[in-house]
Amino acid sequence: MGILFSRGGCHIQGHKELTHGKKIITLTDPKAIGKIYIPLVSGNGKELLLDIKEGDYVKKGTRIGVSQGFYVPVFSPVSGFVSGTEKRFNSLTGRPVDHYVIDNAFKYETEESLKKYDYDKVSSEEIVEAIKEAGIVGLGGAGFPTYIKYGAKNIKTILINACECEPYLTTDNLMVVEETETMLKGISLMMRASQAKKAIIAFKEGHSDMKEAILKYIDSYPNIEIKEVKDRYPAGWERTLVWNVFKKEYENLPSEIGVIVNNAQTAMAVAKAVLEGKPITERVVTVSGTAIKEPQNIRVPVGTVVSKIIEACGGYKGEQVFLLAGGPMCSKAQMNDQFVVEKQSGGYTVLFFEEIEAEPCLRCGACTLHCPASLQPVEIKEAVEKKDEKRLQDLKVNSCIECGLCTFVCPSRIMVTESIRKAKLMLKIAAAKAKAAKK
């Protein structure tokens, strides 16, 4: 923090102890998993171009279709018949969409549709191609197709994000410990793909288990380093992370300063895609929070219905809960538990319902001093109240990453972040109106 400015952030309670250190449970019982549902819409809201139709028999790894817009293939996580199409709520788009229903045969017959490459011989182009064909996306939650990042030139460093700054979630941490070598191999492949000379694995200080696990193997990977960053939310946000590691800023993408940032689990997925020809068909998710009976990490096929996972964790406590598709700082509360696990889902947080009463704004500026995007949330809030679009434009509303810190720190318990979302919406509507008026 400077006298005139702030890069924001603050330490927030992690609640990681609820699941950290517990063994990962694999859900295998057919009844416990139930049917598998594949949304026929990708995160951008566009329908998939389908390869198979209802009634077809698919195996684990059979390509179901591919997204429109960015090319991302979708694979079947299990084997069985596609028995129909059903509308269900989708957590990525926030609305009900069609899903293929796969009657899980629990045979786990596998189709090897993707090419495998030799670790020592695979070329830069082949790696990118393999990542693309396997449909690898950012597994930190963003779900952005990974191969696109590798189109950038002049990359010097791969930065691996293992910060997992959302409270409650522990899958990144556990997977780094569990699959350290796979991750390191994946990182090496990513370095080769981008011709980066160096890679840095960043995690929050105090995570000795990750540190020990990585240090055990790191001697065989001379160009990979570790870097511990301060436990200040949002340590895992790309800009904050890049600033903390390199003390550099960028306009739009970290590739401008020669950096590609990828999540730790994405590195593992890259290794599996390139070396074993495997797409992402299963995933470890954290189920945690105050209102779940047995918080734990649980390995399930992608497409498992969340209610099944909740059952496997002993069910809900209490009568009224918030069910969040992710951690408590950024994730939306879901209207039911009938949505499915996506490949980029890191976990689910279940919290007791509570109502918090707000007081008038003290105008203390705490939100401004904590905003990691260095915005002025209180000023944005006031401009929204006054419907002052000009001022909203001046305040660079669209730089907000909706990290939730402004609401978190507010002593008057005001939902400041929600005002920023409103501000964004107001500007969007204004822009649309302006466009319509021009025509």
Residue with token string 């302006």:
434
Q: Which of 253, 362, 429, 432 binds ligand SF4 (CB under 6 A)?
A: 362
Q: Give dist(CA 98, CA 87) in Å, integer.
A: 4
Does the footprint of ligand SF4 cover residue 395 (CB under 6 A)?
A: no
Q: Which tokens sit at 135?
A: 């449909």
Contact partner at residue 347 from other proteins, ligand SF4, none, CB < 5 to 8 Å by partner kind: none
Q: Which of 28, 314, 394, 425 binds other proteins (CB under 8 A)?
A: 394
Does the footprint of ligand SF4 cover residue 414 (CB under 6 A)?
A: yes
Q: Work out how close the CB of 86 gets to other proteins at its nearest, in angstroms, rounded to a whole number.
A: 20
Q: Work out how close the CB of 389 gets to other proteins at its nearest, in angstroms, rounded to a whole number.
A: 14
Sort 336 into a burial class: Cβ within 10 Å, 0-12 / 13-18 / 19+: exposed
Q: Which CB sits closer to other proteins, 195 or 399? A: 399
Question: If DSSP codes are grouped into helix, strand and coil, which group holds residue 82?
Answer: strand
Does the footprint of other proteins cover residue 432 (CB under 8 A)?
A: no
Q: Which tokens sit at 436?
A: 């319509």
Q: Work out how close the CB of 12 gets to other proteins at its nearest, in angstroms, rounded to a whole number.
A: 7
> Residue 66 carries which DSSP code?
E
Contact partner at residue 400 from ligand SF4, other proteins, none, CB < 5 to 8 Å by partner kind: ligand SF4
Q: Which of 176, 213, 310, 375 binds ligand SF4 (CB under 6 A)?
A: 375
Q: Which of 365, 425, 431, 432 binds other proteins (CB under 8 A)?
A: 365
Q: How far is CA 157 from CA 121, 146, 183, 222, in A?
A: 21, 16, 16, 14
Q: Which tokens sit at 55?
A: 């009634």
Q: Is the peptide bond before 167 cis (omega within 30 degrees of 0)?
A: no
Does the footprint of ligand SF4 cover residue 411 (CB under 6 A)?
A: yes
Of residues 241-270, which lie at the interface with other proteins (CB under 8 A)? none
Does the footprint of other proteins cover residue 418 (CB under 8 A)?
A: yes
Give the number of other Cβ atoms within 10 Å of residue 150's Cβ: 23
Q: Work out how close the CB of 344 gets to ligand SF4 at its nearest, in angstroms, rounded to a whole number.
A: 21
Of residues 50-79, which lie at the interface with other proteins (CB under 8 A)? none
Strand order in the sheet with 259-263: 224-229, 198-204, 157-161, 259-263
Of residues 9-28, which lie at the interface with other proteins (CB under 8 A)? 10, 12-13
Mark out the alpha helices in 106-250 (DSSP H runs).
Answer: 124-133, 146-149, 171-178, 180-194, 208-217, 238-246
Q: Give dist(CA 424, CA 185) in Å, integer.
A: 41
Contact partner at residue 408 from ligand SF4, other proteins, none, CB < 5 to 8 Å by partner kind: other proteins
User: Residues touching ligand SF4: how many (CB under 6 A)?
Assistant: 29
Q: Which of 81, 137, 136 is nearest to 107 (CA)?
A: 81
Does the footprint of ligand SF4 cover residue 403 (CB under 6 A)?
A: yes
Q: How far is CA 343 from CA 25, 54, 162, 274, in A?
A: 17, 22, 17, 18
Question: If DSSP codes are grouped into helix, strand and coil, which group holds residue 23?
Answer: coil
Residues at the contact surface with ligand SF4, assessed by CB under 6 A: 361-367, 371-373, 375, 377-378, 381, 400-406, 409-412, 414, 416-417, 420
Residues at the contact surface with other proteins, assessed by CB under 8 A: 2-7, 10, 12-13, 167, 316, 319-324, 328-337, 349, 351, 353, 356, 359-366, 368-369, 373-376, 378-379, 382, 391, 394-396, 399, 402, 404-405, 407-413, 415, 417-418, 421
